[in-house]
Amino acid sequence: MKVILRESVDALGKAGDTVKVSDGYARNYLIPKGLAIEANVKNLKVMEHERKNILQKAEKARKDAEALAEKFSGVVCTIARLVGEQEKLFGSITTKDIQESLSEQKLEVERKGIILAEPIRSLGEFPVKIRLHAGVTAEIKVVVVPES
């Protein structure tokens, strides 16, 4: 089934693109969520008219994400945890912990946007990337210290 994307979808394309996807993916996910519409003659004409608005909206979202990335530059999250022998943590630092630490600093970010290769299980400083928008990432420093 051919669909026209109303919003950018990571694995498919940008807003306004016409892509071919499986019927089930289109009917059960893309169309009900409002991410796409079926590509027929009527919808193609409507989307040509709306494409300019979609592109402006996408550009504004990207600029907002870049401005937010500037706020994240130089941010340090300090997280205190109980430590056992050889400075090993009891448990680990996950994306949820990082999100909570950022929200305490009044920086809101989605947990899915925090990119950790694996959970942090030791003391020290760790660079963590945050995906704010497609193609826009920011890097913060997470410092894990022993809880006293």
Residues 79 and 102 placed together within one structural domain of the fold: yes
Residues 25, 82, single domain; the answer is: no
Q: What is the pLDDT of residue 114?
A: 93
User: Could you tell me if 20 and 81 lie in one domain?
Assistant: no
The whole-number average pLDDT for the span 98-120 is 91
Strands 136-146 and 124-133 come out as antiparallel
pLDDT of residue 51: 76
pLDDT of residue 134: 79
pLDDT tens per residue across span 4-42 = 988 888 888 888 888 999 999 999 999 999 999 998 888
Q: In whole numbers, what is the pLDDT of the chain averaged over residues?
A: 88
Taking residue 70's Cβ as centre, other Cβ atoms within 10 Å add up to: 9
Examine residue 16 and state whether it is found in any structural domain, yes or no. yes
Please tell me the distance from the alpha carbon of residue 26 to that of residue 65, in angstroms, as a whole number.
28
Choose among 45, 49, 72: nearest CA to 138.
72
Structure confidence by residue, pLDDT tens digits, 41-53: 888 888 777 777 8
Same domain, 42 and 88: no
Q: Once rounded to an integer, what is the mean pLDDT over residues 109-138?
A: 90
pLDDT level of residue 140 (50, 70, 90 thresholds): very high
pLDDT for the residue numbered 6: 84
Residues 85 and 134 in one domain: yes
For residue 15, what is the domain's CATH number?
3.40.5.10
In the numeric block, which tokens belong to residue 111? 């947990």
